[in-house]
Amino acid sequence: MKKAINILVSLVMVAGLVSCNNGENKKGSKGQGGLATNAAEKVYVAPGEHDEYYAFFSGGYSGNLTVYGLPSGRMFKEIPVFSQFPTSGYGYSEETKPMFNTSFGFVPWDDSHHPDISQTGGKLDGRWIFINGNNTPRIARIDLETFETVEIIELPNSAGNHSSSFITENTEYVVAGTRFSVPVPQRDMPIKDYKGNFKGALSFISVDQETGRMGIKFQLMMPGFNYDLSHPGRDKSHGWFFFTTYNTEEANTLMEVNSSQNDKDFIAAVNWKVIEDYVNNGGGTKMPANYAHNVYDHDTHLATSTMEKEVLTVDPTKVPGAVFFLPTPKSPHGCDVDPTGEYIIGNGKLSADLTVHSFTKMLDAIENKKFDGEAYGIPILKFEDVLAGTVKQPGLGPLHTEFDGKGNAYTTFFISSEVVKWKLGTWEVLDRQPVFYSVGHGMIPGGNSREPFGKYFVAMNKITKDRYLPTGPELEHSAQLFDISGDKMELLLDFPTHGEPHYAAGIRADILKKNSKQFYKLADNKNPYATLSEADARVERKGNEVHIYMTTIRSHFTPDNIEGVKVGDKVFFHITNHEQDFDVPHGFAMIGANNAELLIMPGQTKTLVWEPKQVGVWPFYCTDFCSALHQEMQGYVRVSPANSNMELSWSLGED
Amino acid sequence: MKIIMKSLAAIAIVTLISCGGKEEKKSNDIQIGQKPAATEASTETTNASSDVKPSESVDLTNKGIGPIKNLELPAEIDQAMAAKGMEVYKTKCMACHKPDKKFIGPAPTGILERRTPEWIMNMILNPEEMTKNDPLAKALLIEFNGSPMANQNLTEEEARQVLEYFRTL
């Protein structure tokens, strides 16, 4: 009897637990969960359907760029940019190694920060996306037809390439500013003599509108402050560029104290059109330099690196009307310009208020020469004369502001962990939402253009802690998606991001997806090591170099048996994928290779080097599950002793 | 005591059922040991009982599935067109099809004695659908170990040139 009761009681308990589980869910969601609202519906992209937006998140210390869909938060791709990527062989294959060439030699890593999509007439055009390498100063261009990095240019006279890479309205320039000022030219000198002797270079990189090819048009050699972030003027302020500065104290040690002394630092306003004219008319000084310019070609499937030996520098004091300083409180971080081009927002990260400058007032102050002194010969405008307004005590630690195109601004607050929506012109706070936790940048797709798509806001949070299942001390960062189509922001979704996104750029999916390339045409393959006909597959010896010209198609390598390779040889596998269909790459992996695999897209040629060290018969195979016979896609290389007389031979099947 | 037990049982049953309306339906669908409903697929396998390999079978009526509905071949072989076809064949087909011997796929020599010109071109231009829905192409896929006929994205013009080249073999 007792037993029966026990069974019944436990049944009731189990049933209670199983029943609907709502209580449990609600507890976990901390009151912002999707169950009480239709948030789940808003982010649900049904199987087989596509997201409305592509979002490109910088990878920070991953050096790369990751592609997500919005509103789903699904990750589609990691695009290798500044870091070697064994997944595809980027930076390991002979074709792509030159992408990492710099004046410091081969640098296979960087810290990627601020992506920006190319524009025409102030609107996103989806041709390219640019991103900066912070550590060894570089700017990369990624082709949005192929989602591949196609160009990397190094920046001389620069260090901590942080106020980069932002695009002018017609992609005339990609702009890159230096965060750490350095001696220019570099020389052996005491660190304590920093003040007055170091320079901060602001680089204006022109972009060829046909090819996208970058070239440094000029470098503006500014005083030795730290140039933190920047933004182009747009619409009415097109032709200007704005940079936040900190460490106007020019301290060189214990910076967290010594560079926070001044009540105000500056936003540097640069009239690049005036400087462009000056340069086009022979102005500026050419100085010797040494920097790498690396370009990847889609027809040869080959990167080439050229060392440039000269750069044009401009002294701002020599160009009247070109550069002015706008006093801005307390070490401003983000420097953001609203879609009309009128308001320049300085996010003073140690200030309680947000400072907004007026472009119209700035022009007026310049015209009437209302200067309040100068710094290193550069006129300082009077704070009160350029101020449009302040947003009073909106939060703690403002970092960055985005715009929805409907007259509202959204500022992230790192210290108080929130996003605050406020109104341009009246400066009133309209809404605030907590984020989890410590938000850095925010992003509205198209937010950097004249026409933002003001539907979603993504907060890129620095601290994840309890938002996901713990995965040891290291956690992926947490992004949060808000619906901003209504009066109040609504939290819809948490999703993890890879590396440390410092910024992102978003665009409507339909602008990109129609241009996306599906495969490379074999007929257009101009790689010098390509094997365009299977009949030409062969093996050649040049001294101790062995070149294997190999082809792949589902599911075999031609040739797949190779003999006559010797210990001490340097073997080049030049592999051409003969598939001509979407989504049929082949992989190539060789036992004991000291680099990585290759992932070869249809119609592409890639080369992997292998240096056999041991006598034997060694297999290679395809790593990408290509067909039902993928497991059969393999071959052998026979390696004979170094002093062997074995002649080269190769075959496939009985031939 | 009995009353307590009865009511407990009632509560238990009610609670168990409460959210499980759909659950129950699902479990009805999954029953191990049940015979599967007869499918159409099983009727097609009767072809396999014949001794002729699909690659050697002759079918001069099947036009296949794809963009080519009707194609009349002129009596004369257009040698210039065939030469172009040979070039296309070399770069895009030969990795799997040797002209006169079975390799990854069947050899094209004599193919026009076994297949209609339309079927050949549809197989080149539309291999995914052919190997899925055309009975002959399906049988060939099995004969050749499930090795898929790759879509090499030839244009119709190129496929026609390759067909002309096949006529010279």
For the stretch A7-20, pLDDT in tens is 554 544 444 444 44
Cβ contact A502:A441 at 8 Å: yes
- B30 contacts chain A (CB < 8 A): no
Cβ contact A155:A216 at 8 Å: yes
- Which of B159, B96, B97 has its CA nearest to residue B126? B159
A350 burial (CB, 10 Å; 0-12 / 13-18 / 19+) is middle
> What pLDDT, on the 0 to 100 scale, is given for residue B28?
59
Distance from CA of A529 to the nearest CA of B (A): 15
Distance from CA of A599 to the nearest CA of B (A): 18
- A138 contacts chain B (CB < 8 A): no
* Share of chain B residues as helix, strand and coil, in percent rounded to the nearest 5: 55, 0, 45
Most distant CA atoms of chain B, gap in Å:
101
Domains of chain A: 53-513 (2.130.10.10), 526-651 (2.60.40.420)
- Pairwise CB contact (< 8 Å): B15 & A16: yes
Over 50: is that where the pLDDT of A298 sits? yes
Using 50, 70 and 90 to split pLDDT, how confident is the model at A586?
very high
Strand partners, A66: A57, A78
**CA–CA distance, A265 with A250 (Å, rounded to integer):** 11
Using 50, 70 and 90 to split pLDDT, how confident is the model at A21?
very low
- Which of B84, B168, B91 has its CA nearest to residue A535? B91
Over 80: is that where the pLDDT of A565 sits? yes
Grouping H, G, I as helix, E, B as strand and the rest as coil, residue A640 is strand
Question: Tokens representing B99?
Answer: 């002209």
- A532 contacts chain B (CB < 8 A): yes
Grouping H, G, I as helix, E, B as strand and the rest as coil, residue B92 is helix
Q: At what angle do helices B79-92 and B156-168 cross, to 10 degrees?
A: 110
Q: Using the CB atoms, write b or e for A178-207: b if 16+ within 10 Å.
A: bbbbbbbeeeeeeeeebeeebbbbbbbbbb
Lowest-pLDDT range, A140-144, A418-422, B28-32?
Answer: B28-32
- Pairwise CB contact (< 8 Å): B147 & A16: no
Mean pLDDT, residues A255-269 taken together? 91
**CA–CA distance, A403 with A421 (Å, rounded to integer):** 9
> What pLDDT, on the 0 to 100 scale, is given for residue B47?
46
- Pairwise CB contact (< 8 Å): A554 & B147: yes
Distance from CA of A520 to the nearest CA of B (A): 11
> What pLDDT, on the 0 to 100 scale, is given for residue A14?
46
- Pairwise CB contact (< 8 Å): A580 & B92: yes
**CA–CA distance, A140 with A133 (Å, rounded to integer):** 8
Distance from CA of B138 to the nearest CA of A (A): 15
- Pairwise CB contact (< 8 Å): A584 & B150: yes
β strands within A417-516, DSSP E: 418-423, 429-434, 439-443, 456-461, 477-483, 490-497, 504-508
Least CB-CB distance to B150: which of A523, A532, A581?
A581
Q: What is the dihedral of CA B80, B82, B87, B89, to 10 degrees?
A: 170
How much is the pTM?
A: 0.87
From residue A514, give the alpha-carbon distance in Å to each of A126, A442, A510, A584, A601: 11, 27, 7, 19, 19
Peptide bond into A185 cis (omega under 30): yes
Over 60: is that where the pLDDT of A235 sits? yes
- B15 contacts chain A (CB < 8 A): yes
Using 50, 70 and 90 to split pLDDT, how confident is the model at A480?
very high
- Pairwise CB contact (< 8 Å): A580 & B15: no
Using 50, 70 and 90 to split pLDDT, how confident is the model at A628?
confident
**CA–CA distance, B131 with B128 (Å, rounded to integer):** 6
Mean pLDDT, residues A641-650 taken together? 97
Q: What is the dihedral of CA B73, B75, B81, B85, to 10 degrees?
A: 60
Question: CA B94, B98, B102 angle in degrees (round to 5)?
Answer: 135
Question: Tokens representing A495?
Answer: 């999703």
- Comparing A125 with A31, which gets the higher pLDDT? A125
Mean pLDDT, residues A473-479 taken together? 95
**Domain B94-169 - what CATH class?**
mainly alpha
Question: CA A452, A456, A462 angle in degrees (round to 5)?
Answer: 110
- Pairwise CB contact (< 8 Å): A5 & B11: no
- Pairwise CB contact (< 8 Å): B4 & A579: no
- B3 contacts chain A (CB < 8 A): no
Question: CA A281, A284, A286 angle in degrees (round to 5)?
Answer: 120
Enumerate the residues of chain B whose CB falls inside 8 A of the CB of residue A581: 150-153
**CA–CA distance, A118 with A167 (Å, rounded to integer):** 7
B149 to chain A: closest CA residue: A554
pLDDT in tens, chain B (169 residues): 555 555 555 554 544 444 444 444 455 566 665 554 444 444 444 444 567 899 999 999 999 999 999 999 999 999 999 999 999 999 999 989 999 999 999 999 999 999 999 999 999 999 999 999 999 999 999 999 888 899 999 999 999 999 999 999 9
> What pLDDT, on the 0 to 100 scale, is given for residue A29?
43
Q: How many CA atoms lie within 13 A of A239 on its CB side?
A: 13
- Which of A625, A525, A600, A523 has its CA nearest to residue B152? A523
> What pLDDT, on the 0 to 100 scale, is given for residue B148?
85
Which residues 95-134 in chain B show a CB within 8 A of chain A? 95-96, 103-104
Q: pLDDT exceeding 70 applies to what percent of chain A?
A: 94
- Pairwise CB contact (< 8 Å): B92 & A522: yes
**CA–CA distance, A605 with A612 (Å, rounded to integer):** 22
Over 90: is that where the pLDDT of A539 sits? yes
Question: Tokens representing A496?
Answer: 């993890």
* Three-class HEC string of A88-154: CCECCCCCCHHHHEECCEECCCCCECCCEEEEECCEEEEEEEEEEECCCCEEEEEECCCCEEEEEEE
- B83 contacts chain A (CB < 8 A): no
Size of interface A-B (CB pairs under 8 A): 83
Strand partners, A482: A457, A491
Q: How many CA atoms lie within 13 A of A346 on its CB side?
A: 37
**CA–CA distance, A415 with A541 (Å, rounded to integer):** 63
- Pairwise CB contact (< 8 Å): B152 & A579: yes
> What pLDDT, on the 0 to 100 scale, is given for residue B7?
56
Helix (H) or strand (E) holding B99: none
**CA–CA distance, B120 with B67 (Å, rounded to integer):** 11
Q: What is the mean pLDDT of chain A?
A: 94
> What pLDDT, on the 0 to 100 scale, is given for residue A27?
39
Question: CA A123, A129, A133 angle in degrees (round to 5)?
Answer: 135
- Which of A547, A435, A454, A416 has its CA nearest to residue A492? A435
**CA–CA distance, A566 with A491 (Å, rounded to integer):** 63
CA A581 from centroid of its chain's CA atoms: 29
Cβ contact A445:A430 at 8 Å: no
B32 burial (CB, 10 Å; 0-12 / 13-18 / 19+) is exposed
ipTM computed for the complex:
0.72
Strand partners, A77: A67
- Pairwise CB contact (< 8 Å): A20 & B148: no
**CA–CA distance, A333 with A102 (Å, rounded to integer):** 29
